Amino acid sequence: MYHMPIAQKEPIRLFKSDFLEFFTHISPVTIVVFWLPVVIFFLVRTVLDLPSGASWAFIPLSFAGGVFIWTLSEYILHRFLFHYMPKSKRVERIFFLFHGIHHVQPQVKTRLVMPLPVSIPLAMLFYGFFWLVFSTVLGVPAWVGPFFSGFIAGYLTYDLMHYAEHHFPMRSGYAKYIKRYHMQHHYKTPDARFGVSVPLWDYVFGTVAKEEA
């Protein structure tokens, strides 16, 4: 079920409990303070763990790969998880809590970046998956750190761009284009334009709006 925007400026309360309600609001500063050290840590650890004389050339390649895979993950999460069509009222309420509310009140500043209670478990799941792929399947465990670092850097960029798209002018170049693209997702085509930081995968999977295709 798609929820169209309403004019109410005061944030809709989601929980009766003040404790739970507190975690539905987050500042973009919080995610920078939390996630930027994670990006740096995994890069630095990879460099420090390199054997003497070993090449570090794989690090920027792995980092770039992580950023690229994030753009695909961003698309998949937004299209298939955030816009999942629930078959029961209880499940619909759950999905409303973490994304439907954003479509009802897209301009509420404190609900534009992902809360840590959601992003941390997701990051742990992705890290475990990357470890399985690179360490167990491919036998290159040194790639895990920079790949995960790039993945988190991509996520951090996405969240900050999402905030900017809703609250900064962005009047020229790519910034203007991607802001307009995302606003059309909210106000015109909620079943298309799922790319928030890049529209690439909308073109690949045919979810770009007809007039742009």
Closest CA to 43 of 157, 142, 183, 171: 142
Mention every residue, 6+ apart, whose C-beta is less than 8 A from residue 210.
none
Dump pLDDT digits (tens) for 9-40. Answer: 788 888 889 998 888 899 999 999 999 999 99
Question: What's residue 6's pLDDT?
Answer: 66
* Cα distance from N-terminal residue to C-terminal residue, the chain: 25
Residue 13 DSSP SS3: coil
Dump pLDDT digits (tens) for 62-121. Answer: 999 999 999 999 999 999 999 888 888 887 887 777 788 888 888 889 989 999 999 999
At 101, which amino acid appears? Answer: I
Residue 57 DSSP SS3: coil
Dump pLDDT digits (tens) for 107-166. Answer: 889 989 999 999 999 999 999 999 999 999 999 999 999 999 999 999 999 999 999 999
Asked whether residue 194 carries a pLDDT value surpassing 60, the answer given is yes
pTM of the model: 0.91
Distances (CA, A) of 41 to 34, 35, 48: 12, 10, 10
Helices (H), the chain: 18-22, 28-49, 58-76, 89-95, 101-104, 116-131, 144-167, 173-187, 200-205
CA dihedral of residues 97, 102, 108, 109 (deg, nearest 10): 90
- Give the separation between CA 36 and CA 210, rounded to whole angstroms: 37
Residue 10 DSSP SS3: coil
Distances (CA, A) of 60 to 52, 65, 88, 135, 140: 18, 8, 45, 18, 15
Asked whether residue 4 carries a pLDDT value surpassing 70, the answer given is no
Question: What's residue 193's pLDDT?
Answer: 95
Mention every residue, 6+ apart, whose C-beta is less than 8 A from residue 79.
194, 205, 207
